[in-house]
A = this chain, B = another copy of it.
Amino acid sequence: MITNKNCIIRLSRYKNALYRLQALGFVKVFSDNLADSVGSTASQVRKDFSLFGISGNKKGGYQIDILLEKLNSILGKDQLQKVIVIGAGHIGSALMRYRGFEKEGIKILGGFDIDPAKINRNSVVPILPLEEVKAFIKAQGIKIAILAVPDIAAQQAVEMITGAGIKGVLNFAPLRLKDVEGCIINNVNLEIELENLIYFVNVEAKIK
């Protein structure tokens, strides 16, 4: 099944919105309710669902609990997702301590750094020497890594961890990483995100 990234991102948003609706006591939802909640359109919602064979009831809309079950299954939320963080600098450390992932069934099992001063085997998320990462990935069967190392270290780090079995990397290093065979890399470039925002703010300012 071929689907685009935006579509999957919308599935995540639907899921989040459905939990909020459920918390408000709703049991079923119509495509246009859901569209409103995520800032989309009713057509888009129904189209997305039909791509995944999710169907509702004509006239009756969709039952939230069933819908959540299906979305959670598609998004892999029915099992704990084990993740490691490479690089224990400012960003890496913040991500290790960030509580938002737990709620989503994402568990950070460890952090890794080359700097001996950063090693701490006793913290909530242990921070281990980078040379242990390969063994750790294999022992724990980890497929997903967050990369938060300086730009010059990024390419080498990716090659190391993909060699050990990592299949997906969320990259915070401020450079576009070359794809590695058999591994998906999603780039989150903070500088570029800000630069983008600045551009559009300035354009708006010029229009007025």
Which of A39, A175, A190, A204 has the most chain B CB within a 10 Å cutoff?
Answer: A190
Q: Which residue in chain B gives the minimum CB-CB distance to A3?
A: B203
Which A residues between 168 and 185 are near B, CB-CB below 8 angstroms? 168-170, 174-176, 182, 184
Proximity bits, A95-111, B CB within 8 Å = 1, else 0: 10110110110100000
A1 is contacted by which of B83, B143, B203 (Cβ under 8 Å)?
A: B203
Given contacts A16-B175, A196-B9, A168 and B201 within 8 Å (CB-CB): yes
Binding site for B on A (CB under 8 A): 1, 5, 8-9, 11-13, 16, 38-39, 74-77, 81, 83, 90-91, 93-95, 97-98, 100-101, 103-104, 106, 143-144, 146, 167-170, 174-176, 182, 184, 186, 188-205
Tell me if B90 and A194 are in contact (CB < 8 A). no
- The minimal Cβ–Cβ distance linking A146 to chain B, given in whole angstroms, is 8
Tell me if B104 and A191 are in contact (CB < 8 A). yes
Q: Which residue in chain B gives the minimum CB-CB distance to A178?
A: B39
A202 is contacted by which of B76, B83, B188, B191 (Cβ under 8 Å)?
A: B76
Tell me if A200 and B168 are in contact (CB < 8 A). yes
Tell me if A144 and B194 are in contact (CB < 8 A). yes
Q: How many copies does the complex hold?
A: 2
Given contacts A193-B186, A197-B186, A199-B8, A205 and B167 within 8 Å (CB-CB): yes
Q: Which residue in chain B gives the minimum CB-CB distance to A37?
A: B176
Cα distance, A95 to B175, chains bound together (Å) = 17
Q: What are the residues of chain B within 8 A of A170 when measuring CB–CB?
A: 193-194, 197
- The minimal Cβ–Cβ distance linking A198 to chain B, given in whole angstroms, is 5
- The minimal Cβ–Cβ distance linking A170 to chain B, given in whole angstroms, is 6
Given contacts A199-B74, A204-B167, A13 and B176 within 8 Å (CB-CB): yes
Which of A91, A169, A182 has the most chain B CB within a 10 Å cutoff?
Answer: A91
Q: Which residue in chain B gives the minimum CB-CB distance to A174?
A: B100
Q: What are the residues of chain B within 8 A of A191 when measuring CB–CB?
A: 12, 100-101, 103-104, 106
